[in-house]
Structure 1
Amino acid sequence: MSQFDRRQVMMGAAATALATGLPAHAAEARAELYKLFDAFFDEDLTDSPEQATNLGLDTGAHAGARSKLGDRSISGWIKDRAQPGQRVKRLKAIDRKALSGDDAVNYDTALFQYESRARAGVFDYGAVSRPYVLTQYYGAYSSTPSFLDTKHKIESAADAETYLARMAAFATVLDQESERFAADAAKGVIPADFMLDKAIAQLGKFRALPADKNVLVASLTRRGKPYGDYEGKASALLAGTVHPALDRQIEVLKAARAKATHDAGLNRLKDGDAYYAALLKIYTTTDMTADQVHRLGLEEGAEISAKMDAILKKRGLTQGSVGARVASLNTDPTQTYPNTDEGRAQMLAYCNQLIADLAPKLPQWFGVTPKTPVEVRRIPAYTEAGAAGGYYERPALDGSRPGAFYINLRDTADRPRWSLPTLTYHEAAPGHHFQLALVAESTLPRLRQNMGFSANTEGWALYAEQVAMEMGVYENDELGLLGMYQARLFRAARCVVDTGIHTKGWSREKAIAYMMETGGEPEGRITSEVERYCANPGQACSYKVGHTVWAKARERTKARLGAKFDIRRFHDAGLLVGPVPLTVLDRVLDGWAG
């Protein structure tokens, strides 16, 4: 910190001390912390132009971000790996003992974020939080076209020109990722054969689209029409710049495919066991080992299966495993939608209606609810083959974009009607949307607003499925209740399968068979899910681990407060602190309960 910066902090600290009554040393530590937070956040926006646009902050000092994409080069990767450790040192220069209350929570949250990523960053391949640059699930080839179509605003000719600049930058990013992938492959870090097959197929499908059908061209042509004729410029860029980069990336993946094995476990890679342990730390925000997570999944799975068994027997389904009996319901004509655009529109309408029907019940369970609306949308068809079954996209921090629940409608048979309520409550209200829209509307430091902890957010969303059940939404919907238990069992099975693949030698086929036999979901959906765990090790374990911590915290708080316990205040306390590591969440909720 320069002498000038130090003088600014001291002046800010003096003002804080006067305004808050804090001792001067505490006020100084507080001022240093938030000055550092502002610096980190500004660095993040500079390093990731996409993030600046996603958050609606590509204006003012960051207006230049609108024509750029982030650096995916090898030198950029080296910088990314070093950054968390550097930030830990900068944080530790602040006196933690001088902080209290929200300031201590914010410090501890940031410290965990960077310490956990610094541990994962010592492994010289992939990305900090996943092992491969390119898979069927990750890569600019998939994310950037969707980003340009849905996030890059076009409200002027200047916006259309920055879109074109980003379209040109897309080719550079493709080549940067290809170079990194090839460098990793030379070290033996190669995705499994089935992952590469799907990634190559998706790249080929995107490459084969004629210009007028390619989202990069079609989006600019449609939205830029009031400001000029951009189809020709975009088509020329696609053919002359983007297509050659796609061709080069396809060739790089094909070269690696010749050396790929069918084994997807991280333990086959150098230091793979240690890397997986670091990823579990990032994603569960606990010190649980792979064996402990595996055992949790087995134990929770047995308990949930027993509840499902009881429901199935009441319906006269008594023969076969729970999974097999549940699977028999997937083809019930009253519970399936046509695999057509009309059927998909019906599914979207049903999910939106579920959100509307839940709204009158919410004030009995939550004191604070988000003002920002949530919409249900289809995952773009050009990415759905490798995408998850559903995901939530938080609103822009500037309020310009609502929250969105994206659902994969590649095959409507993957989502029978009775499974949709729980998915909707998880992704929208009272799940992800409640937590993350409240973050966007909060006065938390912007760095905190932009932090994510999978075990907290996914744990909350799984806990929210439980809350929806407690609201009575399944009182006259026994199949819907079965769907809720199936979803919970699915998360328990994830713990078993993810750890099984990466530490116990499970094959892709064994993992798929286990999940189908356990929960009865359709094979197509389960196959995509298992392949996702191969691409993003550890993350799938965060759901059930997080749910367990949220549920235990509630029971512990109820026991402590007795008749004084108010579910609305408990939920508000847990949500308004924002996403934090589970250890910090427990400390916050225990402190709130006294």
Structure 2
Amino acid sequence: MQKLINAPLSRRTFIGALGTTTALTVLPGCATIPVSGIANAGQSAGQALLDDIAWNLLRHEPTRASSLGVDTGEHAYLRSQLGDATQAGQNAKAATLSADLERARQFPKIGLDPAMRTSFEVVESAYATAVEGLALPYGDIPVGSWRTAPYPVIQNVGAYVDLPRFLDSDHPVRDEADAEAYIARLEEVPGVLAGELERMQSARNMGVIPPDFLLDRALDQMERQLRDSMEGGALVESVVRRTNEEGIAGNWQSRANSIVTGQIAPALERQFAELRVQRGIAGSAPGMSAQPEGDEWYRWSLKSSTTTTMSPTEIHQLGIDTLADIHGQMDPILRSLGYTEGNPGQRMIQLSQDDRFKFAEGDAGRAEIMRFLEERIDWIRGEMPRAFRRVINPEVAVRRIPQNEELGAPTAYGGAPAVDGSRPGTFWINLRDTDLHRKYDLPTLTHHEAIPGHVWEGEYSNQLPLIRAILAFNAFSEGWALYAEQLGDEMGAYDDNPAWRLGYLQAMAYRAIRLVVDTGLHAQGWGRQQAIDFFHSNSGVGVAETTNEIDRYCSWPGQACGYMVGKLEILRQRERAMQALGSAYDLRDFNLAVVEGGNAPLDVLAGNITRYLGS
């Protein structure tokens, strides 16, 4: 098996080879629990196995350990690593996942409590899907994560985008050891970039070329990142600023600058040159159907993103039907405000031009947006005892998306606190242009990204076994965040402000439209402009944001479909609970059952609700 890992096999051939042997291996140094030795094991053995599986994954993805805040003690060495981005590294991870999937499947489940059974179900689902994805001949394959990316480097994918933010926000610099680990990670960046370059070139040799408009955006962003790196830039500034703040003596600036300008910048130049080669041969077809084996890649990406087996056709029709229902709710409110011409999306465009709902331009408007968000977080936090039987109180930091990422980044995103409490939950907001936001859409965005959305839900998941804090499923994460938007409405967030309710309904329409355009782009032959026009005219969102969204769907196929599919399943389970419990039903108990069950595939969520109904 070790020979297989080191052999120059394609990813598909490698995964196929795994299926022909029973000599399953894990990384050197990882404890292996033979199936024969755990046949009669109980709860403690199950927990030990789950922990072992978690650390096996984190050895391949050490940045996750830092993001979770668990790279401490005997695992502190992970803080100095970034992971192997080469194809050999991908193959080694596939071997670990396949081995640990088999171990999880064979572990005897009799006698385990419901929570641990759920954890095993989650591992088996996540790993089976990831192993299936790693058998595809190209792409960045998530393991219990959200980003399905056929292109290893593009406008919103790749170390040149991810690592500056990660090193500044997730890598701690509290003492000399942390600063040395930062320097060690800087030394690993050129290897990561080289590994990505290898996979970029391999994909190109297969005929996998991103569309020209994505390459234009990637080239623009990487050029700016390259200029920054040639001068030391953000990667140097971060360690200098934080060591100064902590009073950590050392020649951090000169050491970091030498690595960034002497090693990282040349590695970026090589990636930039490859992107230019690809741009010279790229076409304009936006969807996966134009790529080699693209239909199979998209089928898998939908499965990964929705944790269902729904077909592109089914998802497309679901989007059309759901959008019609939401537009029906928007129409009377728009009419009451005097907007009567065009469909609801077109009327929302008219509403967006109302100066009452705009923020000031420039830094003054940026500061106004930050204050607005803080106020809404304070309000919704106070309403949570009405929605949850057990209330938490996570810290939420509102931060601007780094400026070098803003062009290719979404409007906002949120992340859970570190498991050890060392880093708060974070609400990242895109402030490249204050015209991206309106006063009627930010309340809903707050509920989605912060409370009771991503940050809130992540705090509950962090209380589960480590493997559950690592594994997150797009349909649950984003489905819950959309459901959180509805909870905001049910808590009265918009009762006194019809425009804010329109913002909430517009956000729902936005996610229904995603079902239509994502499947249209990747499975029905839609052009980029067709998708932009449909999104713009039906959502009421500006052309700039619409274009950014469409380009995101082209580089993350299927990901946008998880939102509405997940929300509708949570609502279906809520209706099921209401029917089953009758007068005994309590919203606080249902919501708690969902979040305490943890981030899970949708079929596992259904099982958790079944157990809640039987309790």
Normalised by the size of structure 1, how large is the TM-score? 0.93
Q: Are the counterparts in 1 of residues 315 and 516 from structure 2 also a CA contact under 8 Å?
A: yes
Give the letter for the 1:545 counterpart: V
Q: What is aligned with 2:502? A: 482
Stretch moving more, 123-132 or 525-534: 123-132
Q: Select which of 432, 436, 459 maps to 2:479.
A: 459
Alignment of 1:114 with 2:134, yes or no, is no
2:506 corresponds to 1:506: no
Instruction: Give runs of aligned pairs for residues 536-551 of structure 1, distance below 5 A.
Output: 536-551=556-571
Match of 2:589 in 1: 569
Matched ranges for 1:54-453 at <5 A: 54-96=67-109, 99=112, 101-128=114-141, 129-209=148-228, 214-225=233-244, 226=247, 227-440=249-462, 442=463, 444-453=464-473
SS in 1 for 2:500: helix
Deviations 1:203-233 (A, max 9, x none): 1011123766711111122112322342222
Alpha carbons 1:29, 1:94 under 8 Å: kept: no
Q: Which digits, 9 at most, give the CA deviation of each residue in 1:81-102, with x for residues without a partner?
A: 4443333222222234565522
Alpha carbons of structure 1 residues 421 and 445: separation in structure 2 relative to 1, 3 Å: same
- The CA distance in 2 between the partners of 1:436 and 1:6, in whole Å, is 30
The code of the aligned residue for 2:75 comes to: H
Which amino acid in the other structure matches residue 546 of structure 2? I
| Partner SS, residue 361 of structure 2 | coil
Instruction: Say which SS state the counterpart of residue 446 (structure 2) adopts.
Output: helix
Q: d(CA) in 1 for partners of 2:545 and 2:93? A: 33
CA distance, structure 2, for counterparts of residue 218 and residue 31 of structure 1: 46
Equivalent residue number for residue 531 of structure 1: 551
Output the amino acid matched with 2:211.
Answer: A
Q: Which runs of 5+ in 1 are unaligned?
A: 14-24
The answer to whether the Cα contact below 8 Å between 1:283 and 1:541 also exists between their aligned partners in 2 is yes
Instruction: Identify the residue that residue 6 of structure 2 maps to in structure 1.
Output: none
Alpha-carbon shift at residue 234 of structure 1 (Å) = 2.1
Letter in structure 2 aligned against 1:190: I
Does the aligned pair in 2 maintain the 1:32–1:94 contact within 8 Å?
no
Q: What pairs up with 1:511-526 in 2 under 5 angstroms? A: 511-526=531-546
Tell whether 2:470 aligns with 1:470: no
Once the two structures are superposed, residues 121-154 of structure 1 have per-residue CA deviations (whole angstroms, 9 ceiling, x without a partner) of 2211012242110110100001111111112222
**Residues 211 and 218, structure 1, Cα contact 8 Å, conserved in 2:** no
AA paired with 1:315? L
CA deviation after TM superposition for structure 1 residue 361, in Å: 1.8
CA RMSD of aligned residues (A): 2.0
Q: Secondary structure at the match of 1:228?
A: coil
Distance (whole Å) between structure 2 residues aligned to residue 508 and residue 392 of structure 1: 27
Cα distance in structure 1, aligned partners of 2:352 and 2:110: 56
Distance 1:510 1:81 in 2: 38
Partners in 1 of 2:331 and 2:285 — Cα distance?
Answer: 34
Q: 1:283 to 1:6 in 2, by over 3 A?
A: closer
Change (3 A) 1:554 1:264: same
Partner letter of residue 568 of structure 2? T
Q: Deviations over 1:234-259 (max 9, x none)?
A: 22222211111111110011011111
Contact 1:283 1:538 in 2 (8 A): yes
**What's the offset of the Cα at 1:339?**
2.6
1:21 corresponding residue in structure 2: none
Deviation at 1:32, TM superposition (A): 4.3
From the superposition, tell whether residues 222 and 476 of structure 1 become closer, same or farther in structure 2 (CA, over 3 Å): same
More displaced stretch, 512-521 vs 49-58:
49-58
Taking the aligned partners of 2:303 and 2:353, their CA distance within structure 1 comes to 40
| Structure 2 partner of 1:53 | 66
AA of the residue aligned to 2:375: Q
> Tell me, what secondary structure is at the counterpart of 1:517?
helix
Report if the CA contact (8 A) 2:149-2:157 is conserved.
Answer: no
What SS class does the counterpart of residue 377 from structure 1 fall into? strand
Equivalent residues of 2:230, 2:265 under 8 A apart: no
Partner of 2:104, secondary structure, is helix
Q: Which residue number corresponds to residue 608 of structure 2?
A: 588
Moved more, 405-414 or 146-155: 146-155
Q: Partners in 2 of 1:574 and 1:113 — Cα distance?
A: 18
| C-alpha distance in structure 2 between counterparts of 1:218 and 1:161, whole Å | 15
For 2:237, the aligned partner's letter is: A
Q: What per-residue deviation string (whole Å, max 9, x for no partner) do you get for residues 5-54 of structure 1? A: 769997xx8xxxxxxxxxxx6x6154443332122111122222211211
Structure 1 residue 325 displacement after superposition: 1.1
C-alpha contact 1:82 1:121 (8 A) present in aligned 2: no
* Aligned partners of 2:60 and 2:93 also within 8 Å: no
**Separation in structure 2 between the aligned mates of residue 6 and residue 121 of structure 1, nearest angstrom:** 25
2:144 corresponds in structure 1 to: none
Of stretches 160-169 and 482-491 in structure 1, the one that deviates more from structure 2 is 160-169
Query: Is the CA contact (8 Å cut-off) linking 2:41 and 2:108 kept in structure 1?
Result: no
Distance 1:333 1:5 in 2: 63
SS in 1 for 2:427: strand
Report which stretch shifted further, 36-45 or 207-216: 207-216
Structure 2 unaligned residues grouped into runs of 5+: 1-23, 26-30, 142-147
Measured against aligned partners, the alpha-carbon deviations of 1:430-468 in whole angstroms (never above 9, x if no partner) come to 11122111112x1x2211121101111111110111111
Q: Is the 8 A contact 1:212 1:218 kept in 2?
A: no
Measured after TM superposition, the shift of residue 522 of structure 1 is 1.0
Percentage of matched positions with identical amino acids: 36
- Matches for 1:30-45 after TM superposition, within 5 Å: 30-45=43-58
Instruction: Deviation per CA, 1:250-293: give whole Å up to 9, x if none.
Output: 00110111111111211122222122111111111112111111
Native 8 Å contact 1:309 1:322 kept in 2: yes
Contact 1:326–1:520 (Cα < 8 Å) also in 2 = yes
More off after superposition, 87-96 vs 38-47: 87-96
Counterparts of 2:127 and 2:34 in 1: how far apart (Å)? 27
Contact map agreement 2:232 2:260 (CA 8 A) in 1: no
Deviations 1:472-499 (A, max 9, x none): 1111110000000000000000000111
After superposition, the Cα gap between the structure-2 partners of 1:222 and 1:7, relative to the gap in structure 1 and judged at 3 Å, is closer
Could you state the TM-score of these two structures normalised by the residue count of structure 2?
A: 0.90
Mapped partners of 1:314, 1:559: distance in 2: 35
- Cα drift, residue 391 of structure 1: 0.7
